[in-house]
Structure 1
Amino acid sequence: MADLLTPGLILAAAATFLFAGLVKGVTGMGLPTFAMAVLGSLVSPAAAAALLIVPSFVTNLWQLLAGPAFAGLARRLWPMMAGIVAGTFAGASLLASGDTGASTAALGATLVAYAAWSLLGRQPRAPARLERWASPIVGLATGLVTGATGVFVVPAVPYLQALDLEKDDLVQALGLSFTVSTLALAGALAVRGAYQVGDLAVSTFAVLPALAGMWLGQEIRRRVSPAAFRRWFLVGLLLLGAEMLLRPLF
């Protein structure tokens, strides 16, 4: 990845992480999804994922540790986290394969599915009696999508929202899921030789614009409707995902 960087790409990456952090500051999520969507249209999804690792880890760890009930959530959700790790290592062969057309189309399909569900779908509910077997299955599916596309929101986010957690617990559970996904993705790419020490240094530089964007987003949150902002963000994500999905056809 470090060899591919040009002044123009560095500027584009900084702007991407600034806006991705802004989205996370306003809505509480969306940094890795937006960053992968934009960077995946500029470089290969594997290179975009390499850039994403450190800022995603830092911002999601912040979100994880800020919550009130880490130990309880970890005990409750560990089967899902184990599934995420296993699925990510299994699915990363596509992202690391160098088949840019297939991984870009997979990323586009994931973005379209997530944006469409968020815009149109009704909030599901997961009965407590189903959680024991549903958690590892959802984790495995999330890991497979993460390994193949670098995006870790599907189906983890709908599932965690369906558990009817308290607001603070939900935010912390999302932070736990995203942090585990980020670490698993880094490990899976490193095992396949798609993540190098130089990528870690480059990715670290993206933390500053991401954190600046988060601060700016928190300020904007006080002045705009988070619901309206999130709706237009999802519309943009839907259009970008559709373009990536259809790109290999032209």
Structure 2
Amino acid sequence: MLSAGIIAWIGAVFLAAGFVKGVVGMGLPTVAMGLLAVTMPPAEAAALLLIPSLVTNLWQLFTGPAFAGLWRRLWTMMAGIMLGTVAGAGVLTGVHPGAASAGLGAALVLYAILGLLRLGFTMPARHEALMSPLAGVATGLVTGATGVFVIPAVPYLQSLRLEKDDLIQALGLSFTVSTAALAIGLFRTGALASPMQLTSSILALLPALAGMFIGQALRQAMSVETFRRVFFVGLLALGVYLALEALL
């Protein structure tokens, strides 16, 4: 049974994570995993994440203009994400939670640095057939080991130079597949076996949706660029903290 303090903390985390997603269009699993890992093992945090992540990403996926075309273009990447996540889930749920926390911290640091430096590249169309499944498997392995979906999926999808709406929908597709694959991986390893975990994840959806709607409403009234810098600096600090705590 979770204490009242932990329940309040979980609610605050998902409110904040939903707010970030509402403002910048992504970041819910990254923020939620990073903050929850401060107070619980990464595998438990990942189980809480499943329903809020799935619902918000499905919303993002099916409000875009070109699902069928994106699926035909990216299905090999999605297959790689599924395989890599299921294969890597043993790290997240294994007997060495410190390794999972250190990996999560490293993923957050890398993501924050890429965001702050605006590092990017362009993927030539002739290389997509080879690189899409490789990017998918790499993303899946990182997801299975850390519960974070963004590396290298986000930089890779940005490198395809999709139109803005298509990119948002492609991110929704990638995050949805990652969430489903993580659920399968957690179930296979026995980390998602308790009805209490599913109930807690469903309840976490409420603050996540509230935060997302607030973020969407405030997007027009604030500088997204300023928020973006603060967001990445915060992730960098959190990632360094998690990595050092696990290693020291």
Shorter-chain TM band: over 0.9
- Which residue is equivalent to 1:130? 127
> 1:228 corresponds to which residue?
226
Residue in 1 that maps onto 2:144: 147
Query: Are 2:21 and 2:215, in contact at CA under 8 Å, matched by a contact in 1?
Result: yes
> TM-score if structure 1 supplies the norm length?
0.97
Q: Which residue of 2 aligns with 1:66?
A: 63
- 1:53-132 counterparts in 2 under 5 A? 53-132=50-129
Distance 2:247 2:163 in 1: 44
Q: Could you report, residue by residue, the CA deviation over 1:96-139 in whole angstroms, capped at 9, with x for unpaired residues?
A: 11422111001000000110111114221101001000000000
Question: Deviation of residue 211 (structure 1)?
Answer: 0.5
The aligned residue for residue 47 of structure 1 is 44
Aligned position for 2:9: 12
Q: Structure 2 unaligned runs (5+)?
A: none
Q: Which amino acid aligns with 1:77?
A: L
- CA displacement at 1:248 relative to structure 2: 2.5
Letter matched to residue 147 of structure 2: G
**Whole-angstrom CA distance in 2 between matches of 1:156 and 1:39:** 22
Residue identity opposite 1:190 in structure 2: F
- Cα deviation code 1:67-86 (max 9, x no counterpart): 01001101110000000000
Aligned partner of 2:235 among 234, 237, 247: 237
The ranges of structure 1 where at least 4 consecutive aligned residues each deviate by more than 2 angstroms after the TM superposition are none
1:206 is paired with a residue whose SS is helix
Percent sequence identity over matched residues? 60
Matched, 1:213 2:242: no
Tell me the TM-score normalized by structure 2.
0.98
State the Cα distance separating 1:201 from its structure 2 match.
Answer: 1.1
- Partners of 2:95 and 2:165 lie apart in 1 by 39
**Partners of 1:34 and 1:116 in 2: how far apart?**
15
2:155 corresponds to 1:158: yes
Give 2:239's aligned amino acid. Answer: G
Aligned partner letter, 1:148: A
- Residue 249 of structure 1: how far off its partner (Å): 3.4
Q: Which region of structure 1 is more displaced relative to structure 2, 41-50 or 115-124?
A: 115-124
Distance 1:97 1:12 in 2: 25
Measure the CA separation in 2 of the matches of 1:98 and 1:37.
Answer: 20
* Contact 2:22/2:211 (<8 A) preserved: yes
2-side partners of 1:42 and 1:111: how far apart? 17
Give yes or no for the alignment of 1:173 onto 2:170: yes
CA RMSD of aligned residues (A): 0.8
Partner of residue 244 from structure 2, selected from 211, 226, 246: 246
